């Protein structure tokens, strides 16, 4: 009880600041305590230490107390994981997390710095031309300026001209990139060797311009007008008077 009261007194003293008078009294009290300690006789073991026999009995007593404590409160180590295994698992998880973060950062940087390729855009244009997907070509691969020029007409002028070229010279069956010019960052001039049908070939140059981060064809060249590349005009097919009269003759009617 005395110890508890003293502890409460110490706690109360620590919870507030001492006054100057209390500080002066405290210094005086410390000197008095030092004088009292000098008058107290020390035990022999304090001056010279304990004997070997006393130390032996003390060790036996401590060992007995530890055994009794372990018997009453056994240490439960069944659920504790292996420290080395836990450290290895944490190391592996840390390495994997760092690798994932580094990979994600690298992919993000590559994506942000990725630039559209005019050659790839032109290749997609020719692939759609081979498949005669003219509506897709007009909607996705022509520049806004060129698309407006074709849309100013009441009919679909681009599709009609492309189909007319297929009828006159054959469908596009192959394309080959011959040369490229321009800075390839804002504009590009790509020259191709185009094959229509089985053996009709001619050269044409596409002019591509970068619009709002996407490449668009600003000039088709002779893509849908092979005659502009030097090919002869197709022969015109008109009905003859003989065939018309034969259709109206009595023998044909009979």
Domain coordinates of the chain in residue numbers? 118-225
Question: Would you say the pTM of this structure is higher than 0.85?
Answer: no
Task: Say whether pLDDT at 254 is over 60.
Answer: no
Q: CA 98 from chain center: how many Å? A: 15
The residue that leads in pLDDT, 11 or 91, is 91
Interacting residues of 188 by C-beta distance below 8 A, sequence separation 6+: 118, 119, 122, 180, 181, 182, 207, 208, 215
The residue that leads in pLDDT, 68 or 44, is 68
State the residue for tokens 């030097």: 230
Q: Per-residue pLDDT tens for 203-252?
A: 999 999 988 778 889 999 999 999 888 888 887 644 443 333 343 333 33
Per-residue pLDDT averaged across 86-114, rounded?
76
pLDDT score for 152: 64
Task: Say whether pLDDT at 196 is over 90.
Answer: yes
82: confidence class by pLDDT, cuts 50, 70, 90: low
Task: Say whether pLDDT at 26 is over 50.
Answer: yes
The residue that leads in pLDDT, 75 or 171, is 171
pLDDT score for 1: 59
Classify domain 118-225 at the CATH superfamily level. NTF2-like; domain 1 (3.10.450.100)
Q: What are phi and psi of 151, to 5 degrees?
A: -85, -5
Task: Say whether pLDDT at 13 is over 70.
Answer: no
Task: Say whether pLDDT at 33 is over 50.
Answer: yes
Q: Per-residue pLDDT tens for 121-147?
A: 899 999 999 999 998 988 888 988 888
pLDDT score for 124: 92
């Amino acid at each position: 009880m005395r110890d508890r009261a003293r502890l409460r007194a110490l706690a109360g003293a620590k919870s507030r600041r001492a006054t100057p008078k209390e500080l002066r009294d405290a210094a005086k009290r410390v000197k008095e305590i030092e004088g009292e300690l000098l008058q107290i006789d020390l035990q022999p073991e304090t001056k010279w230490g304990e004997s070997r026999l006393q130390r032996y009995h003390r060790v036996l007593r401590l060992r007995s107390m530890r055994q009794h404590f372990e018997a009453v409160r056994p240490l439960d180590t069944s659920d504790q994981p292996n420290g080395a295994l836990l450290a290895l698992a944490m190391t592996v998880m840390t390495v994997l997390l760092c690798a994932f973060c580094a990979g994600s950062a690298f992919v993000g940087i590559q994506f942000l710095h990725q630039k559209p390729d005019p050659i790839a855009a032109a290749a997609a244009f020719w692939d759609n031309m081979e498949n005669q997907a003219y509506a897709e070509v007009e909607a996705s691969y022509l520049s806004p300026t060129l698309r407006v020029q074709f849309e100013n007409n009441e009919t679909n002028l681009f599709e009609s001209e492309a189909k007319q070229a297929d009828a006159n010279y054959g469908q596009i069956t192959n394309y080959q990139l011959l040369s490229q010019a321009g800075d390839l960052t804002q504009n590009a001039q790509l020259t191709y060797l185009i094959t229509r049908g089985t053996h009709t070939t001619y050269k044409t140059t596409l002019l591509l311009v970068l619009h709002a981060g996407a490449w668009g064809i600003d000039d088709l060249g002779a893509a849908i007008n092979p005659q502009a590349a030097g090919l002869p005009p197709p022969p015109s097919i008109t009905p003859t008077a003989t065939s018309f009269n034969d259709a109206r003759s009595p023998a044909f009617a009979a």
